Amino acid sequence: MRTYRVKLSGWTASFRHPQFVTGMQPTLPLPPPSTIYGLVAAAMGQWIDPQLCRLAYVFRHEGKARDLETIYQFNRSNSAKSNVIFREWLTNWELWLYFKQSKWANAFIEPVFPLLLGRQQELAHVENVQPETVILRKTTTTLYGTAVPFPFWSAAGMVMALPLVMSAELPRQAIGVRPWQLIHEPVKLQHEGIWHDPDLKHGVYFLGDQNG
Could you tell me the end-to-end alpha-carbon distance of the chain, in angstroms, rounded to an integer?
Answer: 13
The model's pTM is 0.91
**CB count in 10 Å sphere of residue 166:** 18
pLDDT tens-place string over residues 9-68: 999 999 988 766 666 789 999 999 999 999 999 999 999 999 999 999 999 999 999 888
The residue count of the chain comes to 212
Task: Decide: 19 and 120 in contact? Cβ < 8 Å.
Answer: no
Average pLDDT over residues 132-156: 94
Is the Cα torsion angle 101, 206, 189, 157 positive or negative in sign?
Answer: positive
Average pLDDT over residues 102-127: 95
Q: Is the pLDDT of residue 98 over 60?
A: yes
pLDDT of residue 212: 37
Q: Is the pLDDT of residue 131 over 80?
A: yes
pLDDT of residue 19: 67
Average pLDDT over residues 191-201: 95
Domains and CATH numbers, the chain: 2-207 (3.30.70)
Q: How far apart are CA 148 and CA 127, in angstroms?
A: 25
pLDDT of residue 211: 40
**Pairing verdict, β 146-149 and 187-189:** unpaired
**Triad 148, 95, 108: Cα angle to 5°:** 110
